[in-house]
Amino acid sequence: MCASTHRHSLHCILPPYILSQIAENGSPELRAIAMHSLLIDPTIRIVRASTAGPVTGTIARRRSAAGNVLTPSPLRTIRDAGGEPEAPGPIVVRREGQGPTGDVAVDEAYDGLGATFDLFWEAYQRNSIDDAGLPLDATVHYDRDYDNAFWDGTQMVFGDGDGELFNRFTIALDVIGHELTHGVTEKEAGLVYFNQSGALNESISDVFGSLVKQRLLGQTADQADWLIGAGLLTSAVNGVALRSMKEPGTAYDDPVLGKDPQPGHMDDFVRTNQDNGGVHINSGIPNRAFYLSATAIGGNAWDQAGRIWYNTLLDPNTRANTDFAGFARVTIDVAGRLHGTESAEATAVAEAWTAVGVI
């Protein structure tokens, strides 16, 4: 354990409680070394993983005292359902920090959760779904020929697709981001999954799902394809994706799947009892508003437009039953607070909502 190559002899000599005292009260140099030793102490890491939450209280204060801010980790756990309709799956196949397994669905889920975590942390300083380091769990290989992915309140669940119409649902990074964002929305505005608030809930998942992908690919708003689920449909389907944020209603038109039913303007708003009041249908309208805002503002969509939408999701004026117009007003308020009421950003957002007929 205490090999001669160990760089921090403090760790080898001193027990953790002494290290803690040094981290709190020692000279700056000693504090930094003690903190490093504490942070690499396997017992602390094991406790952190098993308690499944952020390090708070005494250790957090000591970390702060040492001027050492630990980058949060997504704490991913991927489980395998083995083709059974069972979530969480019975077998843990990859944990945080472990290398690729060679199972493409497992590794895509792991990487996708990581990319989504990175967007929320690095762009918006949000530490995981609950902003308190909630571990990210996913189950893959759910059921047989299962053409779906969903958020069950505690984890993301991914099917392998039937291979005829749908490929595996981990293939699209934005779908992974979409599912995880449902968890964020649930923790924040709690938009009710029905009618317009439900369509906003769906749209927010599409927005941040797309931003995860754009950010990983390094694409500006102009360069992005603004498709959701590109690659999910097999070549047997006449379509390119599940949805298009840029041109809602154009993602597919197929004899088996039917035609993409999404509207891009309030004139075409669909009133229906299906799909929880059309949550995956009418989300096309706020999706297009985001696309128009992001492309009008320019640059990386996650920087300005994404920040406006993120702050709107956290704003107390966005409530569980907020409708399109209410959400639009908050985005404009937020853009005004961030950039000025007469700013190009606030103007772009207001014009986008006008263009889709919401305000």
Partner 1 sequence: MQTGKACSEAITGEVRVRIEGGLAHFPGLAKEQTVSFNDLGLPEREELTSLADKADFFGCTPANETARPDARTYTVGLTIDGRSREIRVAEPIRDPALARLVSVVRRLSKQQAVAR
Give the residue numbers annotated as catalytic, written as ranges.
Answer: 179, 280
Closest to partner 1 by CB, 164 or 222: 164
Closest to partner 1 by CB, 21 or 154: 154
Q: Is 282 a binder of Zn ion (CB under 5 A)? A: no
Q: Is 155 a binder of Zn ion (CB under 5 A)? A: no
Nearest partner of 118 among 185, 199, 35, 213, judged by Cα: 213
CB 141 within 8 A of CB 148: no
Q: Is 98 a binder of partner 1 (CB under 8 A)? A: no
Nearest-angstrom CA–CA distance, 175 and 324: 23
As given in the structure block, the two tokens for residue 200 are: 């906003």
Q: Is 169 a binder of partner 1 (CB under 8 A)? A: yes
- Residue 260: is it exposed, middle or buried by C-beta count within 10 angstroms (0-12/13-18/19+)? buried
Closest to Zn ion by CB, 37 or 205: 205
Nearest-angstrom CA–CA distance, 100 and 241: 27
| Region near Zn ion per CB under 5 A, out of 31-39, 115-123, 195-203, 320-328 | 195-203
Nearest-angstrom CA–CA distance, 162 and 147: 6
List Cα–Cα distances, 200 to 30, 74, 107, 250, 283, in angstroms: 51, 26, 30, 20, 6
Draw the binding track, 160-189, toward Zn ion (x: CB under 5 A; -: no contact). Answer: ------------------------------
| Region near partner 1 per CB under 8 A, out of 14-22, 92-100, 115-123, 145-153 | 145-153
Closest to partner 1 by CB, 229 or 264: 229
Q: Is 255 a binder of partner 1 (CB under 8 A)? A: yes
List Cα–Cα distances, 153 to 56, 58, 148, 200, 314, in angstroms: 24, 30, 16, 18, 19
Q: Which of 205, 244, 283, 304 binds Zn ion (CB under 5 A)?
A: 205
Mind giving me the DSSP string for 29-68? HHHHHHHHHHHH-HHHHHHHHHHTS---HHHHHHHHHTT-
Instruction: Give the distance, in angstroms, between the CA of residue 2 and the centroid of all CA atoms in the same chain.
Output: 40
81 binds, among Zn ion, partner 1, none (CB under 5 to 8 A by kind): none
Q: Is 262 a binder of Zn ion (CB under 5 A)? A: no
Closest to partner 1 by CB, 174 or 315: 174
CB 90 within 8 A of CB 81: yes
Shortest distance (Å) from residue 124 CB to Zn ion:
20
Binding site for partner 1 (CB under 8 A): 84-87, 143-153, 157, 162, 164-165, 169, 175, 178-179, 182, 186, 193, 201-202, 205, 229, 242-243, 254-259, 261, 274-276, 278, 280-281
Binding site for Zn ion (CB under 5 A): 202, 205
